[in-house]
A and B are shown apart, each in its own frame.
Chain A
Amino acid sequence: MTESKDPAKPKGRSKKVKEGVKGVLYGMAAHGHVTAALRTRMYLEHLFMFITLGDMLGVPVIPPYYSLRILPYAVPNIKSWKQRVFRERDFTDQVF
């Protein structure tokens, strides 16, 4: 995935052109697939979090013993999980 531009050092014209062409090709050929893969991973992570924290939310999915064993892996993701789960999503968000 091509992230936002790095403002640290100015780039030469040829490098900019090269990056632009690379970016366009990547955008056309693969960007949609990469974001689709990321979304799939996101839904799997939601499932993982729900399984882990289910008993704390009043939905006991697995026994608390196992929840506690995998809690250290789940805790770092709680913030982003909350952010994603609570986000308003409509059918028009799923065109691509």
Chain B
Amino acid sequence: MADFLGTPFLWVVATIVLYGIAYWGYGKWIDRRVWRSDAKRTTPAHMYMDGVEYFPVSRYVLWGYQFKSVAALGPILGPFIGIKFGWLPALIWIIGGNFFIGWLQDYGAMMLSVRKEGRSFGPITYEFTGAKGRTNLLAFVLFYLIIISAAFIALIAVFWSKYPGTFIATVGIIFAGVLCGQLLYRVKMNVFAVTGIGLALVVLSIWIGVYTSAQWPSSFPTVLPLGDWTVPAWALLAVLILYAAAVLPTPLFVQPTNYLAFYPAYAAIILLLVGALATPFTNISVTMPPGPILFQADTGPLWPILFVAIACGAISGWHSLVSSSSSSKQLDIETDALPVGGGAMLSEGLLALVSLIAYMVLAPSFFAQGNYPSWVEGAIVLTSPFLGGRAAAGATLTVFFGLVLVIYALTVQALVTRFFRLVSAETWSEGRFRVFGNKHVATVVGLGIPWAFAVSGSWWALWLYFGGSNQLLAGLAIMLITIHLAKVRAPTRYSLIPAVFMIITTLAALAWQVYFFTKAVVDYLNGSSTGIFGNVRAPINKAPYALVALGINAVFVVIGAVLFLVGLSMAIRLFRSYLSSKAEARVKAPAAADGGTRER
């Protein structure tokens, strides 16, 4: 019995139960009392049906689409930093953050867009805060995309470097994807036949990855013989692949590759969930300390760092863009918003949970080494007992789970780069800087700057900036939702409190980061270079590159300050809009959250 209690099984069950209460209890209550969703009200999917952007889709399809669009690397890697404060605070944030804020944001963003005729956050921000507010959002999103790209490119490079064989397997999957695209669109082969061929090629790619890693475990071609320059070189290869993904027509590259990549990525999630639930039978116990550890020397204090380190899985601003961009235009009936928006987010919380469990079952020494792809190690510990044992399946599982990490980063990053290109075209469509709106120039900028950050800044610095900006976007999104609720005289406190909490927390996290980098710069000027070298990556973390390291630290100060100021300015605009909407609603005729047709 003692062993049973020491396994993570009970935490999985407790989280599932609490998420169930979040969905069927709190969620249904918010849906009924605050938003007053009405299955009979016409949704934009029906009102503006064009069969392309607006058309009704079943809730199951939309749930699958929403989940796939929001679940990526965030819930997998975020808990790595989170667990440094002990697994208990991380677990509480994954449960509590999702319970009170996460699902509420995804669902609220979807409902807001549905009530605003399917419009996305750009026009809604314009309506609530004016042209300056929208420009502010645009600037924020541009910075945000650069930071995401930097974090993901750095991670792809490190995964390839850390797990020999994964690069070859990744290239194999890309070739398989391109081939399947040709079979599907040029040869017009049946989609099931193409899927079968594609999956066979995916298995072959993994096998080649395993074989090459066994043949050449520490030499070319699985490992680049470049010493400290290995990671920058892998990052450059990632950038070249992403460039092709961003500029080539989607049916040629991104679409079929992402389609094939879906299968191993989701097989890994299922395996991990089964592994976590089977721990009482496989006798795998929690070995990490529960915490809480209130301060970590390399990352900072538990509040606010934990709350930005674990983003997706607890709450993520990216989701609000997805919910209001495409899903809201295809929602069949209003009451589907809860299962699609809220349900997908709560399911993503489970992905964060099983990832946290993969870290919980590892020895603390793993984390002392700063070994952040240790998710792979945890996944092997959880799944190898029912997949033939570590001795027999360890090598295959290492390449498989390593490849899954790369796939998650690469597929999302391909879409982020394309999105950056579109945002650049929007920002610099005219005027003297219109060259930045050009497809190739925008892509080079959107990959070049992140590459420079990826190969210079330490990964946790990039990750915390990514988390900070992502969570701030979430806070701003919930504020937009609150303004709408205030305008229609619906209860606002259930979204206002989370919005204020998120905005204050993320601004505090960004301020902490700025302080941290500024302190390193000041320390260097006073004769100590430990700080500036601690914040950058090899090879520039050595004395000959001191000035470069100093420059990188200074750039990170500027990035943090800009993110902080743009976010603060946006938050002030939104808060003012909220106050004026509240005052306006007080004097206006009665209305309701359903858009004003039903009197309260």
Contact = CB atoms under 8 A, between A and B. Distances in A.
Interface of A: 1-5, 19-33, 35-42, 80, 83-84, 87-88, 90-96
15 contacts: A1-B55, A3-B58, A27-B68, A28-B68, A31-B65, A33-B255, A40-B251, A80-B51, A83-B50, A90-B123, A92-B121, A92-B321, A94-B325, A95-B326, A96-B415
Interface of B: 48, 50-53, 55-69, 119-123, 137-138, 141, 249-251, 255, 258-259, 262-263, 266, 321-322, 324-326, 330, 332, 415, 419, 422-423, 426
A92 to B, nearest CB: 4
B68 A95 contact: no
A23 B68 CA distance: 13
Residue among B53, B59, B67 with max Cβ neighbours from chain A (10 Å):
B53
A69 B119 CA distance: 38
B288 to A, nearest CB: 31
Contact of A24 (B64, B251, B255, B332): B64
Nearest to B138: A91
Contacts of A39: 52-53
A38 B119 contact: no
A25 to B, nearest CB: 7
Contacts of B50: 80, 83-84
Given A33-B255, A33-B259, A5 B58 contact: yes
A93 B120 contact: yes
A41 B259 CA distance: 19
Could you tell me the dominant secondary structure of chain A's interface residues? helix
Given A19-B60, A39-B53, 13 more contacts: A3-B57, A19-B58, A24-B61, A26-B61, A35-B330, A37-B251, A80-B50, A87-B53, A90-B119, A91-B426, A95-B326, A96-B322, A96-B415
A93 B67 CA distance: 18
B123 A24 contact: no
Residue among A5, A83, A87, A96 with max Cβ neighbours from chain B (10 Å):
A96
A61 B260 CA distance: 41
A72 to B, nearest CB: 21
A30 B62 CA distance: 11
Could you tell me the dominant secondary structure of chain B's interface residues? helix
B120 A28 contact: no
Contacts of B321: 92, 95
Nearest to B344: A27
Contact of B48 (A30, A36, A83, A92): A83
Nearest to A39: B52
Contacts of B122: 90-93
Contacts of B48: 83, 87
A31 B120 contact: no
A30 B184 CA distance: 13
B64 A35 contact: no
A72 B123 CA distance: 36
A32 B68 contact: yes
Contacts of A83: 48, 50
Nearest to B53: A39
Given A3-B56, A4-B58, A95 B419 contact: yes
A95 to B, nearest CB: 4
Given A30-B259, A91-B141, A93-B120, A84 B63 contact: no
A89 to B, nearest CB: 9
A76 B266 CA distance: 42
Given A27-B61, A90-B123, A95-B321, A35 B326 contact: yes
Residue among A22, A25, A31, A91 with max Cβ neighbours from chain B (10 Å):
A91
A80 B61 CA distance: 25
Residue among B58, B138, B259 with max Cβ neighbours from chain A (10 Å):
B58
A28 B57 contact: no
Contacts of A1: 55, 57
Contacts of B52: 35, 38-39, 41-42, 84
